[in-house]
Every structure is written in structure tokens, then in C-alpha cells.
Structure 1
Amino acid sequence: MADYDWAALARSLPFTALAVVVVLGTTFLVALRVGKQAVVDVAWGLGFVAIALVSFLASAGEGDDVRRWLLLVLTAVWGCRLAWHIWRRSRGKGEDPRYAELMAKAPGNPQLYALRTVYLTQGAIMWFVSLPVQVGSFETSGTSWLVWVGVAVWAVGLFFEAGGDYQLDRFRNDPASKGQVLDTGLWRYTRHPNYFGDACVWWGLSLIAFSAWPGILTLLSPVLMTWLLAKGTGKPLLEKDMASRRPGYVDYVNRTSGFFPLPPKSRTPGEDRG
């Protein structure tokens, strides 16, 4: 406990916050130029990468090098893949309906409203969720078995997230799937393999930080991320009007777990496991 350099961590925190401001501030300017706020979704993963990079540089000579490199590389792989996927998916398309609805209801200047409600909120969440990466980068004790458990959980998460995204892209690009519900592959076991994978990624990174003091103090960070994905702005928002757009979605909900992968129920209608 005495080996942890709290002062070095404290000195780095304003710079990680500044990294968030730079990433999201630049994104806001891009959004104004292209005329759609959906570009902020691309910045979500990149913001975490920026925080991890600043923490890595600030902790040079302070934290355990293996842990520092793991936290940087694993965060960068996840964040860059997610940003690339969202950019490719949204390229050439108009505003996301979620943001269009938000802007339509904005009191006063819609751009300033988006800045307050989307960018500032997202920036605060991003900085808080990334605390395991920030704190873990300064931990001095060597790696333990929990570090490698964290790497394994991260790998499971990336498999579900990237695999789910790939399967959904193929489904959407198939003309025969129009109006249908994707219920094969990973989507057979959970209605949101990408959200489940996202949660696992952050639990994996957090376990790497939890392997040494004071990483466990950041427990609420992965808890918040999981809650947002499963109960907050993730799954509930996406499913809000899905039944009206996909006739078979109600049956899919009745037989498929809402978040954690589970064997599907029989096709007899029943209670939702989500």
C-alpha cells in the first residue's frame, strides 16, 4: 500500500480529463461540420484510448511495466476496433434517430443542448469508467494470476462484441433478412452479444487493476458500465420500439436471454429472462 504513488496519480488525473475534453471537443466540431451528432459514437472508444495513452505515459517509471502495457494495448485494441466498426457502419448515412429525436426536443439552441446532454455526460462517464485503467497504470506490484484472468475475460468480451457485430453486419447486408430477426450464432444465446462483450471487456481490464492495491477501489467503474449497457442507455433504448419494426421480435424476447448468454428457451411463449 505504501509503495503506491498517490501523488503521481493525482498529477495525471487533470491530463486524462483534458484528453477527454480534446477528443470530445474535436468530435463536437466535426459534428457541426458534417451536420450530425452521431459521430460522437465513434469517439466513445477513441476517448478511452486517449485516456489509456495518457495514463501509460504518466506512469512511466512508476507502475509495473507488464500491467501498464496490458492496460494500454488491451484498451487500444478494444477502442480502435469499436471506433472503426461504428464509423464503417454509419458512413454515408444520415443522423441517428436517437440524436434526431433528442435535437428535435431541445429547448433553445439544439447544438448547445447536445453539447450539454450528450458530450458532457459521455465525457464524465468515460472518465469514471476508465478509472481502473488510470489507477492500475500506477500499481507497482508484479503481475499475479488475477491479471491473466482479467486478460481472459477481456478476450471473451472482445470475441462476443466483435463476433456479434460481424454477425449483425452480415445479417443486415443480406436482402433476405429484411424484416426478420437475427437469432442465430451468438444472437441465439443473448439478444445483445455486443453489449455483453463490452461489459466483459471492462470487467477484464478492471480485474487487471484489481490484482494490486488500490485497484479494487475502482469497482464502481465496471459496475456502472454494466448497468448502462444492460439497464440504462444500452439494451432498453435499443429495444424500445423493436417489436413494432420486427414482427418476430416478441417471440425472440420470450426465448432469448436479454444480456447474459444462456441456452434459448423453447418457442413456447414465456417470461423474458432479460
Structure 2
Amino acid sequence: MSRHSGSSRHRSHHSRSTESNPEDLVEQVKSIITLLYEVVSSRPYEWEAYLPSARSAMTALDHLHFFRDPQRFAEQVWMLHGLQDYAFHDSDSGCIRDIAEWCQTAWLRILRNYPENVDTLTGLGRNWLQRAQATLARIHREEGNDSSSQGSSSQAGNSTQGHLSNEDKYNADERLASPPADPRRQGPLYVEARGYLQPAVDFYARALRSADALGSTTGEILASAAESQMSLGNVTGPPGDERHFAQAIRYLRRAEAAPGYILSVYLQQYLNDYGRYVS
């Protein structure tokens, strides 16, 4: 009986201590997210062991109404990047849905305070772009047999890189040549992919407008915006697909010219191969 009472007193004291010292709770959350950054970068195969910690961090931040405080913007962005990277640690296979959705909600809450902020808009663009990856990978797998039977499997690599499936990266020449409309592009997977990718394209476009206005546009943002356009082009029927591919090339040209930025190998190859089609 006394042991139970003592336990109750301990819990009550701990609760009061947490509520009276919210900064202690914030520091605990920061420690968890620092660990998540390490897991994603060094040992993503261990992700599942850290799922309870990630969810407890989210619960604590909700309890503190942390994302309603406009004075803590830098901390908010850092935390969200850590949780979002963890949620999408293997985006081709899917995501940790509740964490991905929680991050999106938190980004939107910050956006109310900073509607034109580049970091917030790119965070949302990245969230939507990464959400699309599992669907794009599934499209690629399901169509792989068809394309191989037509002798085009050599265009597919062994794994995806960045945010684009291999089909996204290398099959744009087929679209630019204006092939007959593919009825599969009206199928459910394509509709789902477009539903993820259109917001990604829109948020990256907003981020670039804000960055351009501030004179702070980076090659990294331009490359990500190009990836979103390329991916959307690959799940859109003609003639709309050509508009997305052309915009991707324009973004890649700007990224290539950005001081100190080097395009990834596959984006540089894409620009080299298809840039000549876009004036």
C-alpha cells in the first residue's frame, strides 16, 4: 500500500516538475532528435528501436504547444527536419505515416506565423515529395516487366537515388518525343502520385519565389524543385508532362550556375541529355 502511494507521489511530483520546467522537457526532446539524426545518417536499419522515443518527443512537443511559439522558429525547423528525415528514412519503401503527417501539420502551423519563409515552404515541399516515393517506386516495379519486355529495362538501375525513381530520372526522352497517351496514367497509382507531387511542386515554387525575392536562392532548393517537376511530369499525360520537364530543366540550369553548388550525377546527366530540348 505504501509502495503504491509512494509511486503515486513520485508520478505526481514528476508531472508537476515537468509542467513547471518546460525547458527541461524541451532539452529531453532535443536529445531524442539528436539521436534520430544519428540513426538516420549512420544506422537507419535500427530505426524501429527508436520509434517509441520519436513518438514520445512528438507527444511532449504537443503538450508544450511548442509550434505555436513564433520566437522558437530555428529550434522548430531543426526539430522538424530531424523527425521528418526519420519518418522517411527509407522513402521508397514507405514512411512512418503518423510521424510524417505530424510533421506536415507542424510545418503548416509554423507557416501561419511565417507564410513566406523559405525553410518552412521547402520543409513542406520535401514532405510531399518524399511521400510520393513509395508510390513512384511501386509504379516502377509494376511497369518494370512491361518495359523489359520492350527492351527498355537497361534504363533502370538497381536502386533509386535522391527523390526520383529510376524511371523518373531516365525516361523523360520518351515523353519529350510525344508518344501516344498512355492509359495507365489515368490509373489509381498515377492519380495517387499526382496527389502527392502537385503540392510538392507548389510548395517548392513558393519557396523559390520567396528565396528569389530575398536573393537567397540555393542550388539545393532548385535541384529539389526540379526533382518534384520531373517526378510529376512522369506521372502526367501529354501535353502537361512537357511543361513539367521544361520547368525542371530551367531549374537545373539555375542550380548548375549557383555558386558552390554541384548537381548530383543523375541530375547533371538529365540536364546534359534533355536540356537541348528546352529553349
Q: For this structure pair, what is the TM-score category when the shorter chain's length is used for normalisation?
A: 0.3 to 0.5
**Structure number with larger C-alpha Rg:** 2
Query: Higher relative contact order at CA 8 Å, sep ≥6: structure 1 or structure 2?
Result: 1
More helix by share: 2
TM-score (norm 1): 0.33
